[in-house]
Amino acid sequence: MNYAGAYGGGNDEEINLDGMSADDIEQHYPEIDEAFGISESIREYEAENEEELTAWIKDGADQKAKLIAE
Domain boundaries, the chain: 3-69
Distances (CA, A) of 36 to 8, 28, 29: 19, 14, 11
Look at residues 23, 54, 30 and name the one whose alpha carbon lies nearest to residue 4.
30
Q: What single letter denotes the amino acid at residue 64? A: K
Q: Sign of torsion, CA 35 6 26 20? A: positive
Rounded to two decimals, the pTM is 0.59
Alpha-carbon torsion, ordered 6, 12, 22, 59, to 10 deg? 90
Question: Helix (H, G, I), strand (E, B), or coil: what is residue 28?
Answer: helix
Q: What is the pLDDT of residue 1?
A: 62
Q: Can you give the pLDDT of all 70 residues of the chain as single tens digits? A: 677 777 778 888 888 888 899 999 999 999 989 988 999 999 998 888 877 778 788 888 888 888 888 7
